[in-house]
């Protein structure tokens, strides 16, 4: 077993650069491949931002339409996956802004957060710890929470998160580290005392 752990496996080949080249050549099969690989993660991400699965699917559909419309200007050296997450994020935030403006014109209302915490079952496990973690995550500053969600829940690399959030990879790391430290402090202060 130790020998297996010591044996380094070759990294899996990233299909996105090839798919990007094929997209540039207007290959519908490449669009289908990207769609199959990224769709569910994009919908989950948009749902966390919008709080509604139907709106999330709409935003993701628009993002794929934009991907096809911009296919000739794509750069195979840059992550199309990150491009899609950034597009979904921008579309979702625009939708939130537009809804906010419409609601403000009708009546005064309390400003809703830009991000809604995922359902407890989407976190670690169901139960008290999951609910506590969900609440602590929702209390983090927006940028820390977004970086953690993209990293830990969506599986994006720091470079991809940097492209989505339009910040430097080092800043992504800082947001994640600070957010995780805050979550750990909350866990240590609250959960360990309750369990004692």
For 81-119, what is each residue's pLDDT tens digit? 999 999 999 999 888 887 776 665 545 434 444 444 444
195 confidence band (pLDDT: 50, 70, 90) = low
Distance between CA atoms of residues 188 and 143, nearest Å:
23
Neighbours of 35 (CB within 10 A): 16
Neighbours of 80 (CB within 10 A): 21
CA-closest candidate to residue 123, choices 136, 112, 139:
136
40 confidence band (pLDDT: 50, 70, 90) = very high
Asked if 142 contacts 115 with a C-beta cutoff of 8 angstroms, the reply is yes
Torsion of CA 185, 189, 194, 196, to 10 degrees: 100
Distance between CA atoms of residues 32 and 22, nearest Å:
11
Residue whose structure tokens are 């650069």: 17
Neighbours of 45 (CB within 10 A): 26
- Residue 191 has what pLDDT? 57
Q: What is the pTM of this model?
A: 0.59
Task: Write out pLDDT tens, residues 144-191.
Answer: 888 988 888 888 888 889 898 899 889 998 899 998 888 888 878 775
- Per-residue CA distances from 64 to 25, 59, 128, 147 (Å): 16, 9, 38, 23
Residue whose structure tokens are 């973690």: 133
Q: Is the pLDDT of residue 18 over 70?
A: yes
Helix (H, G, I), strand (E, B) or coil at 71: helix
Q: Is the pLDDT of residue 47 over 90?
A: yes
Q: Is the pLDDT of residue 12 over 80?
A: no
DSSP letter (8 states) at residue 189: I
Torsion of CA 119, 121, 124, 128, to 10 degrees: 90
Q: Domains in the chain, start-ordered, CATH in brackets? A: 14-116 (1.10.1740.10), 118-196 (1.10.10.10)
Locate 176 and state its tokens. 């994640």
Distance between CA atoms of residues 175 and 152, nearest Å:
13
DSSP letter (8 states) at residue 121: G
């Amino acid at each position: 077993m130790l020998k297996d752990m010591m044996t380094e496996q070759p990294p899996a080949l990233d299909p996105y650069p090839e798919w990007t080249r094929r997209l540039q050549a207007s290959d519908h099969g490449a669009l289908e491949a990207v769609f199959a690989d990224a769709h569910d993660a994009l919908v989950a991400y948009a749902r966390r931002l919008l709080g509604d699965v139907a709106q999330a699917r709409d935003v993701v559909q628009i993002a794929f339409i934009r991907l096809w419309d911009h296919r000739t200007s794509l750069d195979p050296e840059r992550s199309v996956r990150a491009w899609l997450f950034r597009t979904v994020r921008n579309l979702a935030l625009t939708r939130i802004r537009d809804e906010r403006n419409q609601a403000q014109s009708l009546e005064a209302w309390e400003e809703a957060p830009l991000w809604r915490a995922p359902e407890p079952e989407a976190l670690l496990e169901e139960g008290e710890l999951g609910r506590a973690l969900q609440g602590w995550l929702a209390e983090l500053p927006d940028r820390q929470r977004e970086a953690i969600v993209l990293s830990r829940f969506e599986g994006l690399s720091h470079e991809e998160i940097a492209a989505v959030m339009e910040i430097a990879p080092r800043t992504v790391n800082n947001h994640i580290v600070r957010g995780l430290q805050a979550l750990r402090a909350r866990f240590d202060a609250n959960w360990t005392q309750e369990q004692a």
